[in-house]
Chain A
Amino acid sequence: MAELLSGNAAIARGAYEAGAVLAAGYPGTPSTEILENAVKYKDDIYLEWAPNEKVALEVGAAAAMGGTRSIVTMKHVGLNVAADPLMTLAYIGVEGGLVICVADDPGMHSSQNEQDTRNYAKFARLPIFEPSSSQEAKDFIPMAMEVSEKHKTPVILRSTTRVSHSRSLVELGERKEHKSKGFQKDVQRFVTVPAFSRQMRLKVEKRTPELKAETESSPANRIEMGDKSLGIIACGITYQYVKEAWPEASVLKLGFSQPWPDDMIKKFAGYVEKLLVVEELDPLLEEHIKALGIKCHGRDVVSGIGELSISSLRESRAKLEGRPVEKYAYENMADKLPGRPPVLCAGCPHRGVFYALTKHDVVVAGDIGCYSLGAFKPLERLDIILCMGGGVSMAHGLDKAGEKKKVVGIVGDSTFFHSGITGLLDIAYNKGKSTIIVVDNRTTAMTGHQDHPGTGRTLMGEPTVEASIEDIGRACGIKRIRTLNPYDQEATQKALDEEINADEASLVISKAPCILHDRSGVKPAFEIDSELCKNCRMCLKLGCPAIEASEGEKPAISSILCTGCGLCRQVCKFGAISGGENE
């Protein structure tokens, strides 16, 4: 009986069936649920959230060098963090199978950039699988493991948001145990000093044509002949859209795409009158086909920005056929409706810190996580965001460059462990003066509450040591360290005032659990007394979704959303807000 599984759950199942014994990763939408689903198989697979993607890949790489099968998971920007070990691992190769599962996010549903991981496959000369459904997501993992072991190379499995987060029916298989001989010492193979690396470099070149032979004959690649007037080459999820936008066309479906199966491509191009390449994000295949001397359509009709869909491909089809796009039965009214951007949740502890920062004329370097939402109105208390951990080191950079205003960096707890620590070390070592705030809600909130080194629990559910941000700060050499309760607005403002104006670096830890993750702090809802309310709208400056106000009307608190955090009572000058536990 088939099961309805998300692509991510299917990847986890694939790792189980392939006999993987280790899985490591760092949470990041849309990849997160791979490891969360793999927890089902914890009797057979050791699982961990690593502090970051570089560490995860190094853990997985070592397991594979030791002869066992493993998977490593991350999102596309995470592969940038892991790029250093990746490029050299491509030289060393593996003994046991290693599949690096990377989830791209075309359209940036939950990411800071669009990035096509297929470039890394080309860059590192690694084979890449691109599933188009949950069934393929599962089936490609054992196939990728076989390729990995046969050719002693790590293999990338590239998913995208619509593969990872779509659910479709999957026929399950049995687990096949994989025997390992254990680590076999071989210095020339595993030690990348230049003399040995030069030899490895040759192996990489020798491997490429062998891998090409694999893609030419792989069952993951197939030709589906239809009408010969148009042939379409589709990669990953685009196959599904192509089948609906051009149901009659001939299709070359690539699921195992690099090194490109040139013979297959040439053969297919010979069958059809006109050739079209449909790929999401970068025109890698289109450029390759053109370099082979084959004429094809691609970016001239298919967008390279954002996600593709049946609808967008129907527009491409109209363009290719030189006719206007058909209108839909109903027009959407999105332009005429009020925007509904994501916001900090009602009761979110980060709100207290951002609100306190509105009282200071400082530059704030932000980071990746829920707190990036502090950049929006009405709080608008984030000025720059670059990447994970960047909030800390960018604050230092601004400070050292002589920025006239005081500089504050904000980072979350999981992000601090991911790559904020090194930035803090830099500040202490190089005598920086910025104030770093760790908004510590004891979880990785944005991706759905994963554990991390500060939560005291492993991915497998075991209790463990809880890393102390205070102690880490002290060990880095920071002298001024204080912890505050962000719901106490007066104390938060006072503390920030002192730290921002101190003539040395300081570390502020705003500590309160994520209200979505730990509901124990939820109190009865607050209310606004409309008699006492002067409609000054100060409470609305908090940007709390529980406080609603239509134009001109006095604000009211939603009893469904309000968590009784009491921040609004602290900002109301007229004592119109009351409620909560103690009243």
Chain B
Amino acid sequence: MSDTTSVVLAGVGGQGILLASEIVAQAAKISGFDVKTNEVHGMAQRGGSVIAHVRFGEKVYSPLAAKGEAKVLGGLERISALRYADYLCEGGLVAVNSQMMVPVTVSMGMGEYPADAEKLLRDKFENLIYINASEEARKLGNVRAANVVLLGALSKGLDKLSEEAWLEAVKISVKPKFIDLNIKAFKTGRDI
């Protein structure tokens, strides 16, 4: 088995998965690792379920993580981590934003949104951080920073990347006028 570390982020198109994976990738690059990421484009972005992979290590081959090997799994919406749980390694860290986004299929009665999502998550994952990242971001002034709050929480499961590397990565990944907001968002998540 290689020494490659895999990160998987899941959520709904438009939640800022691309930015979150960009920050992980930059933090890994700053830390001197080889890095590969995979992005989601096109049709899948339109409110659909999306997944992004980041892998870093001495030498990374595949840009896609293998199932059963992700060290951390982030869910930007309440149930999205359940959809890709098979990517997580035994005992890996899961961070989930408790925000709920009702899919159109549920509104139309074609599916049911699990009422006990939190219990499902707690039963499944022994190593879970379940936070209201959207509310935390709203308190900081912009609900769109929920992705970076969640990333802050998730960063605790990636000990190969230092806090300095993360903050530097945030700075170079977001537009200048949003740097302060996102630094605060990251620290909020990391301190939870």
Contact = CB atoms under 8 A, between A and B. Distances in A.
A160 to B, nearest CB: 11
A377 interface: yes
Contacts of B63: 162, 166-168, 240
A291 interface: no
Contact of B2 (A162, A244, A340): A244
B83 A342 contact: no
Interface stretch (A186-194, A298-306, A325-333, A563-571): A325-333
Nearest to A543: B104
A244 B82 contact: no
Interface string A40-74: 00000000000000000000000000000000000
B113 to A, nearest CB: 6
Interface size class of B (residues with CB under 8 A): 35 or more
A162 B49 CA distance: 18
A446 interface: yes
B62 A244 contact: yes
Contacts of B101: 548
A170 B113 CA distance: 43
A6 interface: yes
Given A310-B64, A446-B43, A540-B107, A334 B83 contact: yes
**Which of B46, B87, B106 has most chain A Cβ within 10 Å?**
B46
A341 B105 contact: yes
Interface stretch (A260-268, A433-441, A522-530, A549-557): A549-557
A4 B103 contact: no
Contact of A4 (B13, B25, B91, B105): B25
Contacts of A332: 82-87
Contact of A330 (B88, B109, B111): B88
Given A243-B61, A378-B108, A545 B47 contact: yes
A342 B34 CA distance: 33
B132 interface: no
B31 interface: no
Contacts of B4: 244
A446 B48 CA distance: 13
Contact of A167 (B39, B66, B89): B39
Nearest to A27: B42
Nearest to B90: A329
Interface string B79-120: 100111111111110000000011111111111111000001
B42 A30 contact: yes
A165 interface: yes
B106 A338 contact: yes
A296 interface: no
A342 B61 CA distance: 30
B41 to A, nearest CB: 5
A32 B49 CA distance: 21
A6 B39 contact: yes
Contacts of B64: 162, 166, 241, 309-310
Contacts of A336: 114
A330 B125 contact: yes
A30 B41 contact: yes
A373 B43 CA distance: 9
Contacts of A551: 106, 109, 112
A575 interface: no
Contacts of A244: 2, 4, 61-62, 66
A342 B48 contact: yes
Contacts of B34: 168-169
A424 interface: no
Given A109-B43, A241-B62, A342-B13, A166 B88 contact: no
Interface in A224-243: 239-241, 243
Contacts of B102: 548-550
A555 B109 CA distance: 12
B107 A555 contact: yes
Interface in A15-36: 29-30, 32-33
A345 B62 contact: no
Contact of A339 (B26, B43, B110, B124): B110
Nearest to B60: A168
A560 B41 contact: no
Interface in B33-91: 34-49, 60-68, 79, 82-91
A370 interface: yes
A332 B121 CA distance: 11
For the complex of A and B, list the 7 residue pairs with the smallest distance between their C-beta atoms, beginning with the closest.
Answer: A338-B111, A110-B42, A29-B42, A166-B63, A342-B48, A310-B66, A328-B68
11 contacts: A162-B38, A247-B2, A310-B64, A333-B120, A337-B79, A337-B111, A339-B105, A342-B13, A446-B46, A547-B107, A548-B107
Interface of A: 4, 6, 29-30, 32-33, 109-110, 133, 162, 165-169, 239-241, 243-244, 247, 309-311, 314, 326, 328-334, 336-345, 370, 373, 377-378, 446-448, 540, 543-545, 547-551, 555, 560
